[in-house]
Amino acid sequence: MLKGLQNIHFSFGEQGLTYLAGIPIIHQFVKSLRLRRFFQRTIHLSHRNTNYHWADLLLSHFYYTIAGIERLDHLTTLKNNGLLPPLTGLPRLPGTRAMRDFLLGLTPQDLIQIEKVHDLIRDQVFQYPDALTTIIVDFDSSVVTVYGHQELAEVGYNPTHKGKRSYRPLFGMESHLKISLKGELRPGNFSDKTEIVPFVKSALEKIPSNIPISRIRIRMDAGFYCWSVIKFLDEERYGYVIVAQVTRPIKLMLLVLQYRIFNHEEKLAVAEFQYQPYGWKQPHRFVVIRYTLPPEPETAQRTLFTIDRYEYQVFVTNLDLEPESIWYFYKGRTGLEIDIKELKLDFYMSNIPTRTFLANQAHLQLLLLDYNLFRWFQMLCLPQQFQSKTLKWVRRNIFIVPGKFVTPGHKNVLQLPKSFTQQHLFQQIYKNAEKVKPLLK
């Protein structure tokens, strides 16, 4: 067996070293946007810290997220990376206590201001690189399990960790650009669907006013299925497809409908009917997709409603499309599940930072701002073939690379490994970041 290096000696006096030598790319993007000045001019938070300006704390939250800091307790490792401040343009980076105090000190009025500045940034994202002419908004809820004594974390629907306390965040995402419109934390036992309408309304208000309602389509899972949501969407004339809850009257209808096969390969059949659920003011169109189950008992983990050899999925819709087209349209919503998974795994949304609900809501709001800034970075700076890459991929292949900062002849030089396989991509992204237009004229 080959032996490794023997008699290794260690030295801790070297300066100018970092494992995040790719961070200057993100800094150049932030610099071109003039994001720090934009924060300073557009919002004035009540938070006061004699060591850090709140604009620097907002930027630090973004840099920490991009760098892959999973928990506030891990901030010290990055703060002690002596090369990171000059690479990010910040005088110094806040540690665990400063960032936690920042979150805990934010008031409801501060969150309103942060949401407004997020709206201004999102309006710019909607325009670059090309303005959208149609909008698809996907709504979903998720489950974030907690393991401490966080405020308002309750036992509720939690299929992965049954009986565990959790939060149940709601999300509204634009499908084309894959950007967040709205996100809110809710207690894990949240069930009052009448409270969903204000959330849906607020998310839809984020859409640019120049896009007519006739060009907006909405997709929702069964967690949004209720008369108050349907009534709101009908009155505002939004087109929608929503997964319906299969009640006993609907179950009886499923058995007598005439189905038409539209996909022989997957053995999919479709039918439709008019139905007025209890408490609704008028009948609505319902579309049913029937799946033929395989003979083997391998579907124990499936979640659709099952009768005999068939599985059913029911939608309520007001779109004037063929029944099978309703299913194909809704099928595109799977992208939202991928986005939420990325928020959980790559942006570490599942790691709740404090015991206080308002501070945790603030953290989620800042994470969604970080998410949209990163999406904008992808659109403006990454070549087309790399724009669908996740933050985890970009972090691993671009940002996390060893480097050394030297100043030969009074020049600032960041030395990267000769074996760095993404040299061309690295330089191209940096050049694109230099061309980004500022938020402030």
Mean pLDDT of the 349-366 span? 94
> Is 164 within the bounds of a domain?
no
Domain end marker among 266, 300, 321: 321
Render pLDDT for 188-226 as a digit per residue (tens, 0 to 9): 888 777 789 999 999 999 999 999 999 999 999 998 999
The residue range of the domain holding 385 is 17-108+356-434
Q: Do 403 and 317 have their domain in common? A: no
What pLDDT score was predicted for residue 4?
A: 59
Mean pLDDT of the 27-33 span? 94
The answer to whether residues 377 and 180 touch, using CB atoms and an 8 Å cutoff, is no
The Cα 215–Cα 413 span in angstroms is: 50
Domain end marker among 276, 296, 321: 321
pLDDT at 415 over 70: yes
Inter-CA distances, 379 with 22, 29, 435, Å: 18, 12, 13
pTM above 0.85, yes or no: yes
Nearest residue to 56 (alpha-carbon basis) of 27, 81, 91, 24 = 91
Domain end marker among 274, 300, 321: 321
What pLDDT score was predicted for residue 63?
A: 92
Question: How many CB atoms are located within 10 Å of the residue 37 CB?
Answer: 13
What pLDDT score was predicted for residue 189?
A: 87
pLDDT at 243 over 50: yes
From its phi and psi, is residue 14 left (phi > 0), alpha (psi between -120 and 50) or beta? beta
> Is 345 within the bounds of a domain?
no
- Helix, strand, coil fractions of the chain, as percent rounded to 5: 40, 20, 40
Mean pLDDT of the 407-436 span? 90
Mean pLDDT score across all residues of the chain: 89
> Is 340 within the bounds of a domain?
no
What pLDDT score was predicted for residue 299?
A: 47
- Give the pLDDT band of residue 12 (cuts 50, 70, 90): low
Mean pLDDT of the 370-384 span? 96
More reliable by pLDDT, 76 or 184: 184
Q: Do 316 and 368 have their domain in common? A: no
Quote the distance between the C-alpha of residue 40 and its chain's center: 25
Residue 274, beta-bridge partner list:
285
Mean pLDDT of the 130-140 span? 91
Range with the poorest average pLDDT among 36-50, 226-240, 290-304, 338-352: 290-304
Q: Do 302 and 372 have their domain in common? A: no
Side-chain-facing half-sphere of 77: CA atoms under 13 Å: 11
What pLDDT score was predicted for residue 9?
A: 62
Range with the poorest average pLDDT among 41-50, 271-280, 338-347, 362-371: 41-50
Residue 315, beta-bridge partner list:
243, 287
> Is 178 within the bounds of a domain?
no
pLDDT at 247 over 50: yes
pLDDT at 380 over 50: yes
Render pLDDT for 158-176 as a digit per residue (tens, 0 to 9): 888 888 999 999 999 999 9
pLDDT at 11 over 70: no
Task: Give burial (CB, 10 Å; 0-12/13-18/19+) of 263.
Answer: middle
The Cα 369–Cα 2 span in angstroms is: 50
Q: Do 299 and 360 have their domain in common? A: no
What pLDDT score was predicted for residue 50?
A: 72
Q: Do 367 and 307 have their domain in common? A: no
Task: Assess whether the previous peptide bond of 159 is cis (omega < 30° from 0).
Answer: no
pLDDT at 105 over 80: yes
> Is 29 within the bounds of a domain?
yes
The answer to whether residues 330 and 257 touch, using CB atoms and an 8 Å cutoff, is no
- With tokens 């006096």, the residue in question is 13
The Cα 379–Cα 357 span in angstroms is: 33
Q: Are strands 216-220 and 135-141 parallel, antiparallel or unpaired?
A: parallel
Helix axes 23-33 and 357-381, enclosed angle (nearest 10): 90
How many domains would you assign to the chain? 2
pLDDT at 87 over 80: no
Mean pLDDT of the 21-37 span? 93
Task: Count helices and strands (H / E) in the chain.
Answer: 15, 16
The Cα 382–Cα 39 span in angstroms is: 24
- Give the pLDDT band of residue 3 (cuts 50, 70, 90): low
Q: Which alpha helices (DSSP H) does 237-280 contain, by range?
A: 248-256
> Is 249 within the bounds of a domain?
yes
> Is 31 within the bounds of a domain?
yes
